[in-house]
């Protein structure tokens, strides 16, 4: 019996970590998506003269557009000023600083789309300059509500002070980070660096599978991190943005940035699990009548007999 239990646990791990819609028919068609053939103002809001709580760059609409089938976000070293008494309605917020020496792009799905649980995937080419902070993330912007949360599907915090792990690598542009923030007193961030097989300024697919019990991160179709869901239970909006990091003295960390720099998003898709239990998912042509318990003490399931991964049942 112990052998049977262990075998099934192993199978559960394989299935549980292979849940992307590209290889699991339990996911249906996307419930929401954008292939960026044009900028759809019924899906996205642009950051409009906001600085997300005092960041060095001012997010302006002119720095977000669609070109050649990609959403484009630009960060540049041109100055802009906050309007007086600017009160933002997006998570980007209003303005804390007056004059900003940099401008950037921010796009989010609020107020048009929010979702709770499922799979979200985007294909992105991040700018890879040291000192930039581009990100693909979810946030419900419900603070100071205790259920407010943020999930960083991927972000490139390319600075030694903000992200000390960069000090240990020469190929710093091969590192992305994932994180979960809960805005509850005493809660700690749950950050984890992920090593990329190729530079971050090349195309990669970033995804999470989000359920009431677990969050699983994927890069290029492979699971890279799994975390018990610590309390991400609210409907979340989708956000893309490019920020500029600050040094320890709070000065902008722009020394190694070549302006302008660009972030490209080829597509974003959101899936929900199929709820119709009558959906025909899988089959096998294994003939159980040929099994002879007198001659054998195990059964091999798979090996071309169906779409199941090969697994041995010890009897």
Sheet of 106-108: strands edge to edge?
45-46, 106-108, 237-244, 132-139, 149-155, 175-182, 192-195
Tokens 């975390």 belong to residue: 227
Residue 315: give the domain boundaries: 1-26+295-315
Q: What is the pLDDT of residue 249?
A: 77
Q: What is the pLDDT of residue 243?
A: 96
43, 153: one domain: yes
How far, in whole angstroms, is CA 164 from its chain's centroid?
22
Q: What is the pLDDT of residue 79?
A: 93
1, 101: one domain: no
311, 204: one domain: no
285 within domain boundaries: no
Tokens 């041995």 belong to residue: 312
4, 91: one domain: no
97, 200: one domain: yes
147 within domain boundaries: yes
Render pLDDT for 294-306 as a digit per residue (tens, 0 to 9).
Answer: 544 555 555 554 4
82 within domain boundaries: yes
Render pLDDT for 88-122 as a digit per residue (tens, 0 to 9).
Answer: 667 787 788 788 999 999 999 999 999 999 999 99
Which residues partner with 267 through β-bridges?
123
What are φ and ψ of residue 7, in 5° steps? -65, -45
CATH number at residue 115: 2.60.120.200
Report pTM.
0.81
8 A C-beta contact, residue 82 and residue 152: no
210 within domain boundaries: yes
Is the pLDDT at 314 greater than 50? The verdict is: no
Q: What is the pLDDT of residue 303?
A: 54
252 within domain boundaries: yes
174 within domain boundaries: yes
Most confident of 145-159, 197-211, 280-294: 197-211
| pLDDT > 90 fraction of the chain, expressed in percent and rounded | 50
DSSP strand E in 32-131: where? 32-34, 45-46, 57-59, 64-67, 70-75, 80-81, 99-100, 102-104, 106-108, 118-125
281 within domain boundaries: no
Can you tell me the distance from the alpha carbon of 310 to that of 315, in angstroms, rounded to the nearest whole number? 16
Question: Which has more pLDDT, 122 or 291?
Answer: 122
43, 18: one domain: no
Could you tell me which of 250, 226, 219 has the C-alpha nearest to residue 155? 219
154, 182: one domain: yes
Render pLDDT for 211-258 as a digit per residue (tens, 0 to 9).
Answer: 999 999 999 999 999 999 998 999 999 999 999 998 877 788 898 899
Q: What is the pLDDT of residue 110?
A: 92
157, 303: one domain: no
Structurally, the chain folds into a number of domains equal to: 2
Host H or E run for residue 12: helix 2-16
DSSP label at residue 288: G
Can you tell me the distance from the alpha carbon of 133 to that of 179, in angstroms, rounded to the nearest whole number? 14
267 within domain boundaries: yes
125, 5: one domain: no
Can you tell me the distance from the alpha carbon of 131 to that of 161, in angstroms, rounded to the nearest whole number? 10
135, 239: one domain: yes
- Which contacts (CB < 8 Å, 24+ apart) does range 283-292 have? 283/307, 284/308
8 A C-beta contact, residue 156 and residue 132: yes
DSSP strand E in 4-147: where? 32-34, 45-46, 57-59, 64-67, 70-75, 80-81, 99-100, 102-104, 106-108, 118-125, 132-139
218, 152: one domain: yes
180, 313: one domain: no
């Amino acid at each position: 019996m112990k052998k049977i239990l262990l075998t099934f646990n192993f199978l559960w791990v394989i299935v549980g970590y292979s849940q992307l819609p590209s290889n699991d028919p339990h996911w249906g068609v996307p419930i929401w998506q954008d292939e960026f053939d044009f900028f759809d103002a019924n899906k996205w809001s642009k950051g409009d003269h906001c600085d997300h709580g005092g960041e060095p760059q001012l997010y302006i609409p002119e720095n977000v557009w669609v070109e050649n089938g990609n959403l484009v976000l630009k960060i540049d070293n041109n100055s802009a000023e906050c309007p007086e008494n600017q009160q933002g309605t997006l998570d980007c917020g209003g303005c804390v600083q007056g004059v900003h020496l940099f401008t950037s792009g921010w796009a989010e799905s609020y107020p048009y789309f929010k979702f709770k649980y499922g799979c979200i995937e985007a294909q992105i080419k991040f700018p890879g300059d040291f000192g930039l902070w581009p990100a693909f993330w979810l946030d419900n912007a419900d603070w100071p509500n205790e259920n407010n949360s943020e999930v960083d599907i991927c972000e490139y915090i390319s600075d030694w002070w903000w992200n000390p792990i960069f000090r240990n690598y020469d190929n710093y542009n091969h590192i992305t980070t994932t994180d979960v923030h809960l805005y509850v007193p005493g809660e700690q961030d749950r950050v984890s660096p992920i090593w990329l097989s190729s530079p971050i300024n090349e195309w990669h697919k970033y995804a999470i599978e989000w359920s009431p019990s677990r969050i699983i991160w994927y890069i290029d179709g492979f699971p890279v991190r799994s975390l018990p869901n610590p309390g991400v239970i609210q409907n979340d909006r989708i956000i893309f943005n490019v920020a500029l990091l600050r040094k320890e003295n709070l000065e902008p960390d722009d020394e190694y940035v070549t302006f302008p720099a660009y972030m490209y998003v080829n597509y974003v898709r959101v899936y929900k699990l199929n709820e119709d239990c009558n959906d025909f998912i899988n089959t096998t042509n294994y003939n159980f009548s040929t099994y002879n318990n007198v001659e054998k003490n195990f059964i091999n399931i798979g090996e071309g007999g169906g779409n199941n991964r090969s697994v041995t049942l010890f009897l």
